[in-house]
Amino acid sequence: MTQLKLTYFDFHGGRAEPARLAMHIGGIAFEDHRFAFPEFAAVRKTTPFGQVPTLMVDGVQVTQCDAINRYVGRLADLYPADAFQALLCDEVMSVVEDSTVRLSPSFRMTGDAQKTARLELVNGSMPMYLGWLQSQLLARGGEYFADNRLTIADLKVFVDVRGLNSGRLDHVPTDLVEKVAPALNARMNRIAQLPAVEQYYAKFAAK
């Protein structure tokens, strides 16, 4: 059996959460190595680019979140076999990643600088990305982004929307997604109610 170890921050969200969810849904055994934010300075010294997540596959370290997502998606049967459907899946994941890249610098800011940066996103690129994602979802029937079934792309959008709705992002209104992409928000709420997803989060709430 392949030995897998996924390393990321100890919170429900971010770039490793789609892979965590995919492996849980697919029944893929893995070591979920979580660390607290103060430990990052030490952890990043062990990674090629000073970044996480990383995935150890039989002792080989792999980086880049969407490469990891595609790999675990295949293991969990949550990634399309058809080349075009895989392209659609990849496109959605890349758009979410582009949005995340724009948001990331604000985490290193405080006070008015962070407020200004995030409000620019709220009034600019965030609605653009969310609106595009909603349009793609609706164009494909309103339930899935690719392959007419749940894929890693759905999980990546789910994690992104869950984060935007969470209230953990200062200066990002918790109703932003509902206002600019209500169909997208509704679909992500349905994913949250899937038994496997509910089970995943319930096991942490029980601790």
Cβ count within 10 A of residue 38: 7
Handedness of CA 35, 41, 47, 52 (dihedral sign): positive
- Residue-wise pLDDT tens digits, 106-118: 999 999 999 999 9
Are the CB atoms for 66 and 90 separated by under 8 Å?
yes
State which H helix or E strand residue 31 sits in.
strand 31-35
CATH of 83-194, one of 3.30.300.100, 1.20.950.20, 1.20.1050.10, 1.10.132.20: 1.20.1050.10
> From its phi and psi, is residue 4 left (phi > 0), alpha (psi between -120 and 50) or beta?
beta
Distance CA 146, CA 143 (A): 9
Instruction: Write down the domain spans for the chain.
Output: 4-77, 83-194
- Residue-wise pLDDT tens digits, 143-188: 999 999 999 999 999 999 999 999 999 999 999 999 999 999 999 9
CATH class of 4-77: alpha beta
pLDDT, tens digit only, all 207 positions of the chain: 899 999 999 999 999 999 999 999 999 999 999 999 999 999 999 999 999 999 999 999 999 999 999 999 999 999 999 999 999 999 999 999 999 999 999 999 999 999 999 999 999 999 999 999 999 999 999 999 999 999 999 999 999 999 999 999 999 999 999 999 999 999 999 999 999 999 999 988 754
